């Protein structure tokens, strides 16, 4: 059982690293990511919020295959 948890944590960490890379590609920096499987919550600065909404469809297309059913932008600023 413990081995399964370790594997799951490694997969989550890998997925979050991939999400960070995707966000970086779209110049969305310093995001806080929260894995609430199957939900990914992304907290970004107010300045980057409008940009994230502009590229929303592409972000969803790139992030969902990493195992998240829902991707949420947190309305509370950093």
Is 3 a residue whose pLDDT tops 60?
no
Domain residue limits, the chain: 2-74
Q: Angle of helix 46-54 relative to helix 56-63, nearest 10 degrees?
A: 80
How many whole angstroms separate alpha carbon 64 and alpha carbon 59? 8
Report the CATH number of the 2-74 domain: 3.30.70
47 burial (CB, 10 Å; 0-12 / 13-18 / 19+) is exposed
Q: What is the pLDDT of residues 20-76, one digit of tens each?
A: 999 999 999 999 999 999 999 999 999 999 999 999 999 999 999 999 999 999 988
pLDDT at 10: 55
Is 9 a residue whose pLDDT tops 90?
no
DSSP 38: T
């Amino acid at each position: 059982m413990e081995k399964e948890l370790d594997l799951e944590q490694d997969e989550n960490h890998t997925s979050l690293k991939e999400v960070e890379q995707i966000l970086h590609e779209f110049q969305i920096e310093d995001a806080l990511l929260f894995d609430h499987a199957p939900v990914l919550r992304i907290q970004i600065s107010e300045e980057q919020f409008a940009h994230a909404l502009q590229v929303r469809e592409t972000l969803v297309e790139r992030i969902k295959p990493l195992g998240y059913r829902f991707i949420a932008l947190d309305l509370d600023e950093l």
